[in-house]
Chains A and B, each alone.
Chain A
Amino acid sequence: MIESFLALATATTLYNVLWSTLAGIVIGALPGLTATMGLALMTSLTYTMDGRQAILVLICLYVGSIYGGSRSAILLNIPGTPANAATALEGHPMARRGEGQRALGLATVASLVGGLIGGIALALIAPLLAELALGFGSIEYFLLGMVGIIVAGKMTSADDPLKGWIAGFVGLAIATVGQEAMHAYPRFAFGSLDLAGGISLIPAMVGAFGISELLFSLGAGKAQMIEASTDVSGLGSNIRDMIRRKVTVIRSSLIGIVIGVIPGVGEDIASWISYGAARRASRTPDEFTKGSDDGLIAAETANSAALPAAIIPALTLAVPGSAPAAVLLAAMFIHNVRPGPMIMIENPDFVAAVCWMVIFGTIAMAVMGLLLTRPLLYVLRIPREYLTPVVFCLCLIGPYALSQRLFDVYVVLAFGLLGFAMRLMRYPMAPLILGIILGGMVDQNLRRMLQLIDRDPTQIFTRPIALVLIAICLAAIFMGTSRRSEARIPGVSREAD
């Protein structure tokens, strides 16, 4: 860890940490720009950078954007990213009663604490998980992919798991397009060379998260911003508030870490689950939705702790813990880093470097969040009429820059429409993206598994990890198809950003 720190502690790193974290805060703060979209667009901008610095930029952007979303959640009542939806429930009422500055300060300190705890968890859990994953064979990898789709489908669409599963399997179906890895047979290409090349992840994500968000924001009403300057709240009082709520902080951090590690679930679900747990544990649950400190701290701590945790499976299993982590995973491949169980053997200092990147980004986020409160308010005032063409231009140019294929621009549009329709019909987006990412892995391991089982059908019962994964799959399916779950009215499909 010390060597990684020393290798990373350069002026270039400091410069990249500062600008990318600030860019992340701005992206997160602007309604209509999400963390996933920001990362997908930034991936093309980091293409020519040194691999480690590129990953550093993307991680800092990720950290900044998840935090930046709390700004618009508190002041506009519009979560900048889905991970800040629970923050809006408590932060905006606080701002309305003249405690905007305090709410922003609490969100900043909670994000700092959650991010640091998550960063430590990343350093501790990643090596253990990588070691465990060394024992994975094709049976385990196939089942892991299925667990990812089924659990992510259940958790990102808790009120209507069927829609979460549909999104996940549609993602897997999209991943079948193009040449498969074993025989190079072009599946569902219909004679098109572009389709035979497959659907790339970055254009799909830019479309699903970028174009669909732009379209949705065009149809939504304008928000009224509340000024944050009506109260004066210092860092000291924010820290004292946090210490008074240490149980909430610890519980929310743990929830964030556990949810973050689950494939495809992500920060927004961690935030909602932590918020719900804080409400249940509170002695004054009536204060919730009226500007509760506990609720705000629970939401922000959990989403920030979930962020480094979401990188853990991406690094050690090549299975992302959230949608932005999926882009990060794709970026790692672009920059010749091979995530997976062998990473601790082949590239152990990279894992340590990623932990430091998260910690650097988290500290930079807190410093800039506290120092730049007023300038960041101007960002929220940028009218959408001027912002949308710039973002649209980036949505075209970014994916095109990666492959120089116009086909990828058409993919952006197609996924924009698909994402818009899915959101309109209350389908979560995260399982779709997870399906596209996991498709190749699930495909190859399914066929290898079938060959193994053909030789010895009983061996699946001699593998404890496989049995645990099967049990998780069945439990998630049972919970999602039970009568109680089916009787629920579908509410908001919360999607992982």
Chain B
Amino acid sequence: MTELSGRRLRAADLATGLVLAAIGGGMLVASLAMPTYAERGSALTAPGIFPGFIAGIMLVLGIRLAIRTVRRTSWPEAGDALNWRPVLTGLGLMVAAIALLGQLDFRLVTGGFSVAFAAYFVEWRGTRSEIGRRAFATAILLVIVTVLLPGAFEHIFLVRLP
């Protein structure tokens, strides 16, 4: 149980309800502005009908979520809290890797990501043999992400990697 609970969930639900209602409203306006193509036969095939229908429902659901959140008094109890530091570090590394795709060779990106990931997440303290084992495992990881996986996709599945 690492999901949000208590006051944080209440704030998140309220914000979600309002954002959803706003998106629903925006989509509704955009749907009404879409062409109807009535001159091609019937306005009932207009591209805006379906998004407008969905937008209307999202607007209602968003408002309902916001109202329910304001009225609700009982909230689920807190479970194990999510450890945010590793999550944000991992996310930062992922975003950086994806941003570099297309700028650098794919192998450099995945290799760099793996080295950075291992540097942060692998426990580098311990006896010499323990550190040696972990360094060996990291080397195998590097071979997998820079040679085996890209090689398999490039040579077996004939995919040109970025």
Contacts and interface: CB of A to CB of B under 8 A. Distances in A.
Interface of A: 44-45, 47-48, 162-163, 165-166, 169-170, 172-173, 176, 180, 182-183, 185, 187-188, 211, 214-216, 218-221, 383-386, 388-390, 392-394, 396-397, 400-401, 404, 406, 409-410, 412-413, 416-417, 423-426, 442-443, 446-447, 450-451, 454, 486, 489-493
Given A385-B118, A425-B9, A442 B87 contact: no
A312 B88 CA distance: 40
B102 A425 contact: no
Nearest to B86: A218
Contacts of A443: 50
A211 to B, nearest CB: 7
Contact of A221 (B4, B80, B98, B137): B80
Nearest to A171: B54
Contacts of A446: 49-50, 53
Contacts of B40: 183
Interface residues of B, number: 77
6 contacts: A165-B61, A169-B54, A170-B58, A176-B27, A188-B30, A404-B159
B126 interface: no
Which secondary structure dominates chain A's binding surface?
helix
A442 B53 CA distance: 11
Contact of A172 (B54, B101, B118, B157): B54
B68 interface: yes
Contacts, number: 192
B45 A394 contact: no
A425 B44 contact: no
B83 A219 contact: yes
B80 to A, nearest CB: 7
Nearest to B142: A389
Contacts of B4: 424-426
Given A426-B4, A454-B44, A401 B159 contact: yes
Given A214-B94, A424-B12, 9 more contacts: A166-B61, A173-B23, A185-B34, A188-B30, A386-B118, A389-B118, A393-B113, A454-B42, A492-B3
Given A162-B61, A219-B82, A389-B117, A47 B47 contact: no
Nearest to B49: A447
Interface string B21-60: 0010001001000110100101011111111011101100
B102 A406 contact: yes
Nearest to B121: A385
Contacts of B27: 173, 176, 188
B45 A451 contact: yes
A426 B90 contact: no
Interface string B72-83: 001110001011
Nearest to A454: B44
Contacts of B157: 44-45, 47-48, 401
Given A385-B121, A447-B50, A216 B2 contact: yes
Nearest to B5: A426
A169 B58 contact: yes
Contacts of A413: 94-95, 98
